[in-house]
């Protein structure tokens, strides 16, 4: 049976990349009959330093972001990772299945640890094994993510295959990454070759879900572009990363194809296209941002949602974890 899992780190402000690449797609993908499990991966977040109070606040804010984006906590399971111990338990077993060499090849590890690998946390290095556990502890079959997570999902498949081979079982499913749509890689507004990211020091590089209308309009107006008007055909975007990014963003927000956006706006100067994009973005994001504010005003209610979700998640994970221990040879 198909089962969807995905997670987001409560490590800072949610941005348009998280929304279009993840949250919006999660909301759109909630289909009757397919169980979706969405996780605030707080244990992933602490692989780099998090202030404890900020982590709690960000976890609640992220939960509010899911709900405000249209993820229904009744239909889907919404919870935070640390409340379901099976994630950490399975991650340990996967630490013993995965190889050092696999981990060393991960580009996120290389990017985040940088030149100072000796000083990075062991958790940051082992991050992809915990991610594999997040997915496989539910026997999830489909994982909607942005393009940046593709390599980690390949590693998840490698871990499942090696576990199954090592123990001669057909136990963990080989997960399918779901990387679809026009916004699987939203780029920085300041540099069309870098992805939009929480950790970019420039706030002008990203649109935060908490930005007000003025801030959104200003960031789009100041977004880096080349001096040419928009091309008349999609092929004309090939060598123009900044123009392509704005068109992709427009398409994703409006639920249009890139062809449709070009058919409508091709030939326009950015002086015309940017205000149209800003209006569209404000119309989409403002209700989300005000709903997030409303929800975060009642942290107790969010905590209840996370507690209930965690309970449902634990029920699914428990038999899979038990079976895993049995396969590995642990006395129960």
Residues that bind ligand AQP (CB under 6 A): 8-9, 11, 17-18, 21-22, 145-146, 148-149, 183-186, 195-199
Min separation Cβ 323 and ligand AQP, Å: 28
Candidates 112, 162, 224, 284; catalytic one: 112
Q: Is 134 annotated as a binding residue?
A: yes
Q: Is 196 annotated as a binding residue?
A: yes
**Catalytic site residue 284?**
no
Q: Which two tokens stand for residue 137?
A: 């502890």
Q: Which H helix or E strand runs over 39? A: strand 35-40
Q: Which two tokens stand for residue 31?
A: 């289909």
Q: Is 257 annotated as a binding residue?
A: no
> 223 or 321, CB closer to ligand AQP?
223
**Catalytic site residue 24?**
no
Min separation Cβ 144 and ligand AQP, Å: 7
Candidates 24, 75, 162, 195; catalytic one: 195
- Distance in angstroms (rounded) separating the CA atoms of residues 290 and 293: 5
Residue nearest to ligand AQP (CB): 21
Is 270:216 a contact under the CB 8 Å cutoff?
no
35-45 residues labelled b (16+ CB within 10 A) or e (exposed): bbbbbbbbbbb
Query: Coil, strand, or helix at residue 239?
Result: coil
Min separation Cβ 240 and ligand AQP, Å: 18
Candidates 150, 162, 198, 284; catalytic one: 198
**Catalytic site residue 219?**
no
Min separation Cβ 101 and ligand AQP, Å: 23
Chain centre distance of CA 264: 30
Q: Is 17 annotated as a binding residue?
A: yes
> 17 or 128, CB closer to ligand AQP?
17
Q: How far apart are the first and last CA of the chain?
A: 28
Min separation Cβ 232 and ligand AQP, Å: 27
- Which residues are 77's β-sheet partners? 37
- Distance in angstroms (rounded) separating the CA atoms of residues 120 and 135: 24
CA-CA distances (angstroms) from residue 104 to 86, 117, 169, 304? 25, 10, 27, 39
Q: How many helices (H) and strands (E) does the chain have?
A: 14, 5
Query: Coil, strand, or helix at residue 86?
Result: helix
> 67 or 321, CB closer to ligand AQP?
67
Catalytic residue numbers? 112, 195, 198
Binding residues for ATP: 9-11, 17-18, 146-148, 186, 195-199
Binding residues for L-tryptophan: 134
Binding residues: 9-11, 17-18, 134, 146-148, 186, 195-199
């Amino acid at each position: 049976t198909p089962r969807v899992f995905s997670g987001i780190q409560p490590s800072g402000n949610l941005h348009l990349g998280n929304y279009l690449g993840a949250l919006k797609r999660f909301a759109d993908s909630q289909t009757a009959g397919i169980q979706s499990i969405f996780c605030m991966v707080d244990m992933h977040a602490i692989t780099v330093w998090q202030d404890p109070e900020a982590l709690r606040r960000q976890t609640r804010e992220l939960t509010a972001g899911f709900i405000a984006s249209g993820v229904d906590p009744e239909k889907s399971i919404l919870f935070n990772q640390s409340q379901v111990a099976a994630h950490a338990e399975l991650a340990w077993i996967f630490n013993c299945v995965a190889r050092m060499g696999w981990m060393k090849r991960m580009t996120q590890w290389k990017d985040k640890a940088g030149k100072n690998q000796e000083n990075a946390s062991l958790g940051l290095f082992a991050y992809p094994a915990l991610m594999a556990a997040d997915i496989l502890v539910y026997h999830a079959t489909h994982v909607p993510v942005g393009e940046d997570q593709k390599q980690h999902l390949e590693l998840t498949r490698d871990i499942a295959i090696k576990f199954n081979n090592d123990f001669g079982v057909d136990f963990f499913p080989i997960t399918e990454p779901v990387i679809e749509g026009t916004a699987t890689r939203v780029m920085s507004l300041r540099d069309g070759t870098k992805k939009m990211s929480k950790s970019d020091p420039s706030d002008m590089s990203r649109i935060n879900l908490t930005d007000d209308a003025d801030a959104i309009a200003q960031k789009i107006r100041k977004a880096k572009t080349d001096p040419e008007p928009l091309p008349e055909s999609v092929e004309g975007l090939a060598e123009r990363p900044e123009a392509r990014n704005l068109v992709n963003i427009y398409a994703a927000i409006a639920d249009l194809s890139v062809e449709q956006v070009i058919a409508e706006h091709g030939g326009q100067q950015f002086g015309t296209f940017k205000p149209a994009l800003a209006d569209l973005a404000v119309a989409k994001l403002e209700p989300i941002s005000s709903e997030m504010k409303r929800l975060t005003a009642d942290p107790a209610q969010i905590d209840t949602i996370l507690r209930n979700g965690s309970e449902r998640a634990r029920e699914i994970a428990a038999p899979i974890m038990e079976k895993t221990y049995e396969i590995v040879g642990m006395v129960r």
